A and B are shown apart, each in its own frame.
Chain A
């Protein structure tokens, strides 16, 4: 017989919004409390079948304040920002921005990503544009392979792209001084905002 564990009680009076949801609202301007759980977002989400928690579940969990549970899913990493959820939501919850918010918070708080390769891809890609001012795709593919140990798989695609002349082996610099300056200013501003 399965043991029935105590069902946690959530503070869900009408109009209540959890601290987690409030923080997301303050930082990113999206109100999870608008969601009425119709699941239209999930039925259109192309990646839903690969996700630990569906978009509908994520927004509800945010509303309940289940921060740790949500941050430990692969859902926001798999979100490709296709906008289907947001475009079709009858309540205009802006779920897409909640997905962004979750990734931003997870990175800031050092949560171990449930999709390490995807997290690494974004990280490598971003440090790459910071360095060169533009995307150096061959560099990202190469570095990613080394870091995630998926050399064989990525190289298959990388080699095919090289053969077609779709990747440049040497990086180009594009206004990279300006890019570094912007990264620095943004980091400073974000620290201020997090502190306030």
Chain B
């Protein structure tokens, strides 16, 4: 099994630990990942504000490179990239005039669309769930986690087509359960964390993140699992500022791939848990 792997900007900087843990998980599953050499930034949260055409061109150029590699499926772990890839594909399909213009600019004609998959969608197949279950080496059943999906993966559902319910997704829960981690029901699974306003409007981001963390606390979670570099950063780094306002959470925010890797027996020292702002190793130690 082999997927193209769009190992993009944020996974090489703010989300290094996401990339690292993801590689561990896919290696354990014996799934090969190949990075396209000629990739470029997909424009993510930036391009669509200035130019909707550019916002479509950048992801489609990347998909053209993947098409040229002869691969039909690409795994896109950053939810912002995933969202832009899916929106660009749906717009290209929706408008014939646009389709020709885009093809001329990227100098490529797609014979068939490249399917864009989030690692959650790949791991949630019955086959992969069963394999994950059989590979568990470490008991993490004491961990009670809330799965936080955020917005970019599930919305707008008509465009992203994420294979789950957009208002109450369960994919991440099922995967974590398969490796022996308990997940809790809660009401903030798909609420927005403020995303790209991280540096420019910390006031807004703090308000939104505190609502999410409040609900996680209320249901008794010891940690949050996320599939997105924006969510990880916002929920993690802002806890220090919130503590200054008297709101103490001390709630580690893990990439879901880190939790899977831990359950599969990857030692802590091989993961990059030290990159988290809220100390995450204490919660794990409390158990074993």
A interface residues with partner B (beta carbon < 8 Å): 28-29, 46-47, 50, 78, 80-84, 86-87, 92, 96-97, 100-101, 103-104, 107, 115, 117-118, 121-123, 125-126, 129, 133-135, 137, 141, 144, 153-154, 157, 160-161, 164-168, 172, 174-176, 178-179, 182-183, 185-186, 189-190, 193
In the bound complex, residues from chain A placing their C-beta under 8 Å from that of B138 are none
Q: Please, how many residues of chain B have a CB less than 8 angstroms from a CB on the other chain?
A: 61
A174 touches B39 (CB 8 A): yes
Chain B hits for A141, CB < 8 A: 199
Neighbour of A165 across the interface among B40, B191, B275, CB < 8 A: B275
Query: Nearest residue in A to B84 (C-beta to C-beta)?
Result: A81
Is B38 located at the chain interface by the 8 A CB criterion?
A: yes
What's the nearest-Cβ distance from chain B to residue A17, in Å? 19
Query: With A47-B204, A164-B275, A175-B38 in contact, is A80–B51 under 8 Å at CB?
Result: no
Instruction: Tell me the number of A-to-B contacts counted with CB atoms below 8 Å.
Output: 173
Question: Which residues does B use to contact A, with CB under 8 Å?
Answer: 8-10, 12-14, 16, 38-41, 43-55, 57-58, 61, 83, 94-95, 101, 105-106, 151-152, 154-158, 166, 191-192, 194-202, 204, 208, 233, 237, 240, 274-277
Known contacts A104-B52, A135-B10, A137-B14; is A175 also within 8 Å of B237 by CB? no
**Cβ contact within 8 Å between B105 and A182:** yes
Once the chains bind, are B54 and A186 in contact (CB under 8 Å)? yes
Main SS class of interface, B: helix
Task: Give Cα A145 to B23, complex, Å.
Answer: 34
Residue A186 contacts which of B46, B53, B151, B155 (CB distance < 8 angstroms)? B53
Complex CA distance for A165 and B13, rounded to whole angstroms: 8
Interface residues of A, dominant DSSP: helix
Q: Is the CB of B95 within 8 A of A117?
A: no
Q: Bound complex: CA of A82 vs CA of B14, how far in Å?
A: 20
Which residue of chain A lies nearest to B276 when distances are taken between CB atoms in the complex? Answer: A164
Closest chain A residue, CB of each to CB of B196: A80
